[in-house]
Amino acid sequence: MAGRHVSLRVVPDELIVKFDPGTPKRVLNRILTRAGVTPESVVGRIGDLGVRVIHVTPAMRGCVLAALKSSGAVQYAEKDVVMTALDTVPDDPRWSAQWGPKRIGAPRAWDSTRGSSGVVIAVLDTGVDSHLADLSGRVLSGYDFVNNDSNPNDDQGHGTAVAGVLGAHTNNGEGQAGMCWTCSLLPVKVLDEHNDGTTSTIAEGIVWAVDHGARIINMSLGGPGTSQALTDAVAYAASKGVLMFAAAGNNGSTTPFYPAAYPQVVSVGGTDSSDRLYPWSDYVSWVQVTGPGCNVAPLRDGSYGDFCGTSSATPVVSGLAGLALAAKPNASVSDVYSAIRESAKAIGSSVEFGRVDAAGTLSKLGAAPVSSSSTSTIKGTLDPDPTSRSYKRDIGAGSLTLRLSFTGARTLTLELVKGETVARVSGPSPLRIARRVQRGTYRFVVKGSGTRASFTLVASYPKP
């Protein structure tokens, strides 16, 4: 599998520096001055990591970097690496079908849990358009580290697509199905309108997400290089018991991509509807699992489209982790990681473990199925007047069965109605209707022909 070479990009006028803990401010300022920059050149801080981002002129960057590295009070000084979002535009109209959740057994996992609002999943990306119908009420107040404000709106669309795959409203009669139906989404904007962001910004976003209640961090982004600041941020999140998932890259390459290649992060590749690795997905042993690489996702204009790449596969796996924590709130990071890895379906040597299995993951954790169906037993009579009875129910999407048994009449008619008649059957007792239905309000109608009859109607249908 031939890979595409990806060049390392760095910010030309920034450096990252970490001073020894407890370094007095006057000593810190003296070190900066001797290196050729003023204390006012500090343009950013990553608080809990003790890291500073320094503005320098491109021409002086090399000299300043060397001077900082030679100082006895500096733990590290480095260039700020650029990372980018990881999506691929599909060229196959068949990708518009939402085959991914079915392929990984999500419907069976949803029999155990649909998620929990108490499970907070941070979306480190271009922001999220929280006003969209399929995301309304699901998105928490986040932060924008690109513009340094508390309004992490999406000016690109990538983060909104990721959020939709991860946690769109589901079983609501519109749009798409999200992986974790009721998990809370925490938007952390670390990428700009060009899908680019720096390791210092991403590190800052990780620390902020951890400190603001995230139990899971989704990073559908990456680059071929890293920084010590990002390494420290990932270690900080891991030390706080936060699960992390990152896109493996779309270069068809074996070259490690970061942050996916960190040992504390689960790296996610992309597979198709036959569990074949997509040609664009990075691969080899540092890529741990795969998820469906093409999914339906919301667009910023309120419509829906195809969203492909390891950026798309990653929120499927993050959403699965959300289901796992909803089913087993006290599960450890190790428990969840192990359940995801050990239940994965082997797909060959291209990745370490295989394609994720949602139902298998929850089974590994010992999550018990919960009932997702309702059964109603209705007893009634028909007289010459009235000659029909009607019963209204709100029903979810799935399999519906009606069974009508009766005495006193030779034949009756049973109808399923949603605006218009969906199904009708007439004849002697018993009568039966069985079909798959969409979510909505339905009526069960029992009709006679002027003859007195007693009946029992048993209806089994999905909960809305």
d(CA 361, CA 343): 6
Which entry of 125, 134, 144, 306 is annotated as an active-site residue?
A: 125
Nearest to 377 by CA among 454, 447, 456, 464: 456
Q: What's the sign of the alpha-carbon dihedral 328, 265, 259, 231?
A: positive
SS3 letters for 351-374?
CCCEECCHHHHHHHHCCCCCCCEE
Q: Do 197 and 230 contact (CB within 8 A), yes or no?
A: no
Is residue 144 among the annotated active site residues?
Answer: no
Nearest to 314 by CA among 253, 262, 271: 271
Which entry of 158, 169, 267, 272 is annotated as an active-site residue?
A: 158
- Six-digit token string for 384: 């010459």
Which entry of 311, 343, 350, 363 is annotated as an active-site residue?
A: 311
Nearest to 123 by CA among 305, 269, 299, 318: 318
Q: Is 175 left (phi over 0), alpha (psi -120 to 50) or beta?
A: left
Is residue 311 among the annotated active site residues?
Answer: yes
Q: Helices 358-365 and 310-327, interaxial angle, to 10°? A: 30
Residue 359 Cα to chain centre, angstroms: 16
Is residue 429 among the annotated active site residues?
Answer: no
CA distances from 283 to 48, 82, 295 (A): 33, 22, 20
What residues act catalytically?
125, 158, 311
